[in-house]
A = this chain, B = another copy of it.
Amino acid sequence: MPRPVIRPVSDQKPAEKLTIQDVADYAGVSKATVSRYLNRGGEQLSADVEARVAAAIRALGYSPSPMAQGLKRGKSRLIGLVVADVSNSFSVAVLRGVEKACRDAGYMVMLFNLGNDEQLEREAIRSLSAYRVEGFILHTLGHDAGALADAAQLGKPVVLVDRKVGDAEVDLVALDNQTAVQEAAGHLVEAGYRRLLFISEPIKAISSRNERARAFQAFVAEHVDTVGGTVFEAQRGDDDALDEALRALRRGAGQAPVAVLAANAVISLRVAASAARLGWQLGADLGLIGFDDPEWAALVGPGLSAISQPTDDIGRVATNCLIERLQGTQLPPRRVLLPGTLVTRGSTRRA
């Protein structure tokens, strides 16, 4: 018994339940022909048939089921994106870039937000793997190298963003922290600040924080004759300790102007708040420059100086990196370092 009954068009199947067979019936051809049209773009089809199939598809509003396609091809055209915290402006910016690049390349993004919960890293990878994503873009907390190993062991390509994880041999796209720190610290020195404090959220194993801290220490070591500087890790929520760190910075500096280099926007904000509590004027009493340049940076106090990250590029580059891997390119792991941009505002003007 060959093909099923040809239903009249008036049946008005919802577009979601349309199958390739419906299109074939409508066009008076076989499933295979429609499939070929869909996949090889009518290359091996007679003009007549091609036109009829095209018309049928448009008339019916057909679109193939990714599930069936995925099942058959063993590919899902899904990319898993894990972000540390969607509330964080950097994460969001990357998300934007990734999402757009994926769309352009015909992939869909499956998002998993960790909400800064380290416990979730593994679950994120698992969960996304269960959905058969073809690869991962990871902006994780880096706590759980095992999670990454999971992904690698599944044989799925991984691109890291902003943060290395363990010593995994995978692609990485990130800011050129080394240079960025030098520029920022250099700017502080030029502006006349002499005692510097690098403040970060707990560094733990997060590579970008670590790199920034080390680059800062290197800078200080190189300029030991003109400036001094140390590193402080601000615990989440402990504002008293932060206030005290700032006070200590100033006490230890004598008459020398003091400044803070903040490791990200959250810290910038907290330092600004702390300065406000202490009654210090940003710029005059305390220099402040921070990584990330969210929209509000210009409006906090006298304007927050910042190191602006090329977030859209980071997202785009990471995505393209991953897609190359998906297409089978066999290259050694790459490290793509993108330059930041120094944005100077009132918080680093002593005048």
Q: Name the contact of A111 in the complex, choosing from B15, B63, B93, B111 (C-beta under 8 A).
A: B111
Whole-angstrom distance between the Cβ of A193 and the nearest chain B Cβ: 21
Nearest B residue (CB) for A93: B87
Task: Decide if B298 touches A299 in the complex (CB within 8 Å).
Answer: no
What is the bound-complex CA distance between A255 and B171, given in angstroms?
63
Size of A's binding interface in residues, CB under 8 A: 52
> A21-29, A43-51, A125-133, A136-144: which lies at the B interface?
A125-133
| A113 CB within 8 Å of chain B | yes
What is the bound-complex CA distance between A244 and B32, given in angstroms?
65
Whole-angstrom distance between the Cβ of A298 and the nearest chain B Cβ: 7
| A14 CB within 8 Å of chain B | yes
Task: Decide if B100 touches A115 in the complex (CB within 8 Å).
Answer: yes
Whole-angstrom distance between the Cβ of A86 and the nearest chain B Cβ: 5
Q: Name the contact of A87 in the complex, choosing from B71, B96, B269 (C-beta under 8 A).
A: B96
Q: Name the contact of A113 in the complex, choosing from B15, B66, B96 (C-beta under 8 A).
A: B96
What B residues does A119 contact at CB under 8 A? none
Whole-angstrom distance between the Cβ of A140 and the nearest chain B Cβ: 16
Task: Decide if B100 touches A92 in the complex (CB within 8 Å).
Answer: no
| A9 CB within 8 Å of chain B | no
Task: Decide if A63 touches B130 in the complex (CB within 8 Å).
Answer: yes
What is the bound-complex CA distance between A74 and B67, given in angstroms?
9
Interface hits, A19-67 → B, CB 8 Å: 63-67
With A67-B67, A76-B67 already in contact, the answer to whether A92 and B96 are too (CB < 8 A) is: no
| A–B complex contacts, Cβ < 8 Å, 11 sampled | A14-B154, A16-B129, A16-B132, A63-B129, A67-B68, A86-B96, A87-B93, A92-B92, A96-B113, A99-B112, A100-B115
Report A's interface with B, CB cutoff 8 A.
14-17, 63-68, 70-71, 74, 76, 86-87, 92-93, 95-96, 99-100, 103, 108-113, 115, 126-127, 129-132, 153-156, 266, 269, 272-273, 276, 294-296, 298-301
